[in-house]
Structure 1
Amino acid sequence: MLLVTWNTQWCCGLDKVVSPRRIVEGARALGDFDVLCLQEIAVNYPALAGGPGHDQPALLRELLPGFQFFYGPAVDEFTAAGRQQFGNLIATRLPVKQVRHHPLPWPADEGVRSMPRMCTVVTVADPRLGPVRVMTTHLEFFSKPQRMAQARALHALHAEAVGQAKAPPAPSSDGSPFQSKAHTGEAVLCGDFNLVATDPEYGLLTQAAGRSTLHDAWAALHGAAPQPPTFLVHDRTYGPVPIACDFVFVSEGLRGRVKRTAVDGATQVSDHQPVLVELG
């Protein structure tokens, strides 16, 4: 399974050109992906992207025939501009077993700029790996308490799914919503976490919890060698030095299946760099 994750900055390059096509082309340049996880995908935000009514999930769907699309807007609001949405998207050409969208905690942090955050989960059936939960998210940038609460929630979501896989509900084949689901302990958690590997939130995400432990895919393959930076590489608007804050974490059973990792440090069609992980 080849997966690419990318914070697209609403498909806006450093040249201020908004182009979903360039995002797809950039992701394909990294590899012939089976799963594409994108953060900051916008619908009808004229101030950000493409003018009134600009529907980026629809545009991306046209660019990737043969893929199924699952959009998880963390922000879904009605304003004078109409309905506006902003969030994460997973596109895959693998068979899909289940889809879930989990709003993440948004505790009060008075006077600090913030917005709602979401984790979108798509369970795919890989012919070699079996069922895998692909989880993509984008944590809060400005509020550290919110980001910590969101990291804690992600850890709990994975632990809950592992528990379901170990002790599944009663089987059912009655065709109702109670029918048996594809429970699996194997997962990939990816996205823009707005934190670095020395932050306590990173430690929480990778905290040992039996078989529910998540491991940094880059570290699984490269040990202590630092991941190349994925943010502030070509533009320093939000900080003085490049950092790695876009990660791919894998479950215990996939840790030894990480075959390749890569970061495209050259592209400037977003203010983040895309990350590729190959599992085999």
Structure 2
Amino acid sequence: MRFLTYNIQYGLGEDGRFDLARIAGEILRHEPDVVGLQEVERYWKRSGERDQPAELAALMPGYYWVYGANLDMHAGNGEQPNRRRQFGTMILSRSPILSSRNFPLPKFGTLSQHSIQQGALEAVVESPKGMPIRVYSVHLSHLAPETRLPQVEAILEIDRRAYAEGGAWCGGHPDPAAGWTEGEIPPMPRESVWMGDFNFTVDSEEYARLVGPLTPRHGRLVNRDGLIDCWVAAGHDEREGASCGDMRIDYVFCSAWLADRVRRAEIDTAARGSDHRPVIVEIGI
């Protein structure tokens, strides 16, 4: 199963042009099964007041999709009184999205520096082999480790409790005729893939909290019930590679027990549709 994450910077490329068709082309050439996008927006003047989720979906036919607005503000006008100005994350999947949730992550309210609400968008999908899996598109704070660490803790808590919470609905109902149990019970699997722009590097406290501490004698201590960096599981050194400038801050993490199923990981260094580069990972599920 092929995963791709890409912070598209609302379609703004290195050449200063807004070009969602270029973004879609850079994604589709990798033929991903699941795509996690960050910095996708609706009705902002800077990007032409366009509905980017709808446009990207039209440019990528054959994918199911969900959008999670982390910034959601009134932008109505005479023709569209209920229009919303939004900024957030998106997941596209070749297989149907069985259920979805959007989790706001802790936000540090600054007095003068620009601080925005960030989140983790969840989608439950099936792999080509029929295995359900939780997939997340994530964007963390750009400000400082102190603003990201609470967000990392929230991610770990979401991951820890998801299976116990069950699907979007679970259990029975005393009156089946009431319609609450329509359709099949949506699954909530233990296995998860977290991808996105995490805004931290491998030498940070945030990275260590997410995948385990680095020790002088024993290397990186990964918890068997935690998350792993798929880039490393695919055979790369954790300090190798760059996804934004000269830093690797865009990641695909997955449940630790999937480590031996990670087949490949690459960064598309040829992409120019954003200030970030797509990260592609294949997992044998």
TM-score relative to the length of structure 1: 0.87
Distance (whole Å) between structure 2 residues aligned to residue 172 and residue 256 of structure 1: 37
- Measured after TM superposition, the shift of residue 145 of structure 1 is 2.2
For the 8 Å contact 2:211–2:223, the answer to whether it is kept is no
- Tell me, what secondary structure is at the counterpart of 2:39? strand
Pair 1:9 & 2:9 matched: yes
Q: What residue in structure 2 maps to residue 198 of structure 1?
A: 203
Q: Distance in 1 between matches of 2:265 and 2:236?
A: 12
Q: Distance between the aligned counterparts of 1:212 and 1:163, measured in 2?
A: 14
SS in structure 1 of the partner of residue 234 of structure 2 = helix
Structure 1 portions without partners, runs of 5+: 233-241
Structure 1 position 252, deviation (Å): 2.1
1:38 matched to which residue of 2?
37
Aligned Cα RMSD in Å?
Answer: 2.5
Alignment of 1:258-273 (within 5 A): 258-273=262-277
Q: 1:143 deviation in Å?
A: 3.8
Matching residue's letter, 2:5: T
Partner SS for 1:189: strand
The one of 228, 233, 242 aligned to 1:215: 228
**1:210 and 1:220, CA in 2 relative to 1: closer, same or farther beyond 3 A?**
closer
How far apart in 1 are the matches of 2:65 and 2:234? 30
Instruction: Give 5+ residue unaligned stretches, structure 2.
Output: 78-82, 213-220
More deviation in 83-92 or 102-111?
Answer: 102-111
Tell which deviates more after alignment, 221-230 or 64-73. 221-230
Report the Cα distance in structure 2 between the residues aligned to 1:39 and 1:204, rounded to whole angstroms.
Answer: 22
Matched residues in 2 for 1:84 and 1:164: separation? 32
Matches within 5 A, 1:122-201: 122-128=123-129, 130-164=131-165, 171-172=171-172, 174=176, 175-176=179-180, 180-201=185-206
1:65 to 1:98, Cα distance in 2 relative to 1, 3 A: same
The residue type equivalent to 1:120 in the other structure is: L
Q: Aligned to 1:154, what secondary structure does the other structure show?
A: helix
Distance 1:196 1:177 in 2: 45
Q: Which residue of 1 aligns with 2:24?
A: 24
* Inter-CA distance 119–197: structure 2 relative to 1 (3 Å threshold): same
DSSP 3-state at the match of 2:153: helix
How far has the Cα of 1:206 moved from its partner? 1.4
- One-letter amino acid of the counterpart of residue 36, structure 2: C
Rg (Cα) greater in structure? 2
- Partners of 2:101 and 2:247 in 1: CA distance: 30
Q: What residue is the counterpart of 1:62 in the other structure?
A: 58
Higher mean Cα deviation, 90-99 or 131-140? Answer: 90-99
Matched length: 266
SS at match of 1:10: helix
User: How far 1:144 sits from its partner (Å)?
Assistant: 3.0
CA distance in 2, matches of 1:152, 1:7: 22
Displacement of 1:67: 1.1
Tell me which moved more, 175-184 or 35-44. Answer: 175-184
Query: Which one-letter code corresponds to 1:243 in the other structure?
Result: M
Q: Which residue of 1 aligns with 2:94?
A: 93
Give the counterpart letter for 2:202 in structure 1: A
Alignment-mate amino acid for residue 195 of structure 1: F
Alpha-carbon distance between aligned partners in 2 of 1:149 and 1:214, rounded to the nearest angstrom: 17
CA distance in 1 between counterparts of 2:40 and 2:191 reads 26
Return the offset for 1:213.
0.2
Over the matched positions of the two proteins, sequence identity in percent amounts to 31
Deviating runs (4+, > 6 A) in structure 1? none
The change in CA–CA distance for 1:172 and 1:150 in structure 2 (over 3 A counts) is same
Deviations 1:60-107 (A, max 9, x none): 111111211100011000147752001100011113221111111113
Counterpart for residue 279 of structure 2: 275
Match of 1:72 among 68, 72, 80: 68
SS in 1 for 2:14: coil
* SS of 2:23 mapped into structure 1: helix
- Does structure 1 retain, via aligned residues, the 8 Å contact 2:65–2:97? no
Indicate if the aligned counterparts of 1:158 and 1:212 stay in contact, CA closer than 8 A.
no
| Structure 2 residue aligned with 1:252 | 256
